[in-house]
């Protein structure tokens, strides 16, 4: 037999040596380990460490008073779910009060004089049930473990699909998904939303001078600064390379969106300190293109395209600024940078 397989344990309880010897003789060849205790109290100590597959009690089942017939017998407190076989005399089997105890689950008896053909089939049946129970438990544990592994894989794939691995920000795919959902909400609520397209000025020089590892460290710091410049309800995304985007949903108008863009320009213009370039403060900047929905586009692609064009206008205008995309038609005469304290007031450090 495979040594790695753990044998079930049969616990024998009794003080009469002849009973114990006879039971062991009848169960010779049964694949199980045997334990011995002289009393129920001693047997109960076994359950502090393990639960036997079967308990054989070589004594008469205790009489259960009629008033307590529905109460669990004392041995149930010791053995829990383990099946228990009592060796009972024929006289006790005709005692109704004593037979009541066998109405409880997992309690059984074998009549004396003890016969192998009476005891052995019961023992084998209980051991088979025990093995089936262990097999079911193992299968359920495997299913649970596999389910947990599948969930972990799904979470990993979801992160890989929707999260930028370098900065931890939402990637382009997740940004476009959130933008599409925001457009649907804006249509229902008849509201506006703002989209900012951000390009870092001078980033290529950092890569060329200090290496790509320093560039990665810089991108992570930029992501942290951008996240600090907006509200928690807004979305900051890394689209690709040194290009980022911001989605503003609530109370978005031209003035408030430009206020966010100008704030971003200010915080990115502050010097960066890199561990890979100690003692060399890096001065960068950014150019920001600003668009509104539905003013500058009716879908995700047209909005992002218009924001990208506005960003290039900001670069041509001197960099380090936020530029609102021009409006077409009658809306072109609307002020592009009207103050909007409703949003700006919720941004730390935003000038009103």
Contact 112, 88 (CB under 8 A): yes
Contact 158, 151 (CB under 8 A): no
Q: What is the largest CA-CA distance in the chain?
A: 109
The DSSP element (H or E) to which 162 belongs, if any, is helix 116-162
Contact 38, 17 (CB under 8 A): no
Mark whether 242 is an active-site residue.
Answer: yes
pLDDT at 327: 79
The active-site residue out of 242, 253, 295, 308 is: 242
Domain 172-344 has CATH 3.30.70.270: yes
Reported as a single tens digit per residue, the pLDDT across 76-95 is 555 667 888 888 777 666 66
User: What is the pLDDT tens value at each position of the chain, 352 positions in all?
Assistant: 444 567 888 988 888 888 899 999 999 999 999 988 887 777 766 665 677 888 888 877 654 344 344 444 555 555 667 888 888 777 666 666 665 665 555 778 788 888 888 899 999 999 998 888 888 888 888 888 888 888 888 877 777 788 898 999 999 999 999 999 999 999 999 999 999 999 999 998 888 888 889 899 999 999 999 999 999 999 999 999 999 999 999 777 899 999 999 999 999 999 999 887 788 888 899 999 999 999 999 999 999 999 999 999 999 988 899 999 987 654 444 443 333 333 333 333 333 2
Contact 195, 259 (CB under 8 A): no
Q: CA 124 to CA 103: how far, in whole Å?
A: 21
The residue whose two tokens read 């060796």 is 87
pLDDT at 38: 84
Alpha carbon distances (Å) from 325 to 54, 194, 295, 307: 81, 11, 10, 7
CA angle 71, 72, 78 (to 5 degrees): 150
Domain ranges for the chain: 9-138, 172-344
Overall CATH class of domain 9-138: alpha beta
């Amino acid at each position: 037999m495979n040594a790695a397989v753990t044998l079930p344990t049969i616990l024998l309880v009794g003080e009469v040596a002849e009973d114990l010897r006879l039971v062991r003789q009848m169960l010779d060849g049964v694949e199980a380990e045997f334990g011995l205790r002289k009393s129920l109290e001693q047997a109960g100590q076994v359950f502090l460490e393990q639960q036997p597959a079967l308990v054989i009690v070589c004594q008469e089942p205790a009489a259960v008073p009629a008033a307590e017939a529905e109460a669990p017998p004392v041995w149930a407190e010791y053995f829990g779910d383990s099946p228990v076989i009592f060796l009972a005399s024929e006289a006790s089997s005709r005692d109704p009060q004593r037979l009541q105890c066998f109405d409880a689950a997992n309690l059984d008896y074998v009549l004396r004089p003890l016969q192998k053909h009476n005891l052995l089939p019961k023992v084998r049946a209980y051991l088979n049930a025990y093995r089936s129970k262990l097999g079911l438990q193992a299968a359920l544990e495997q299913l649970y473990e596999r389910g947990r592994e599948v969930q972990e894989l799904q979470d990993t794939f979801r992160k890989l699909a929707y999260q930028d691995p370098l900065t931890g920000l939402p990637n382009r795919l997740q940004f476009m998904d959130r933008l599409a959902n925001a457009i649907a909400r804006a249509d229902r609520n008849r509201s506006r939303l703002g989209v900012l397209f951000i390009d870092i000025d001078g980033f290529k020089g950092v890569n060329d001078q200090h290496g790509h590892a320093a560039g990665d460290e810089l991108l992570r710091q930029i992501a942290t600064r951008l996240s600090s410049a907006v509200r928690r309800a807004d979305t900051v995304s890394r689209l690709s390379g040194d290009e980022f985007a911001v989605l503003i949903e609530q109370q978005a108008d031209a003035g408030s969106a430009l206020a966010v863009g100008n704030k971003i320009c200010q915080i990115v213009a502050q010097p960066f300190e890199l561990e890979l370039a100690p003692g060399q403060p890096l001065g960068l900047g950014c150019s920001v293109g600003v668009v509104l929905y539905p003013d500058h586009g009716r879908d995700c692609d047209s909005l992002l395209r218009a924001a990208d064009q506005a960003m290039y206008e900001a670069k041509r205008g001197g960099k380090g600024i936020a530029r609102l995309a021009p409006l077409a038609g009658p809306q072109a005469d609307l002020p592009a940078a009207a103050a909007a304290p409703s949003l700006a007031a919720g941004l730390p450090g935003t000038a009103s």
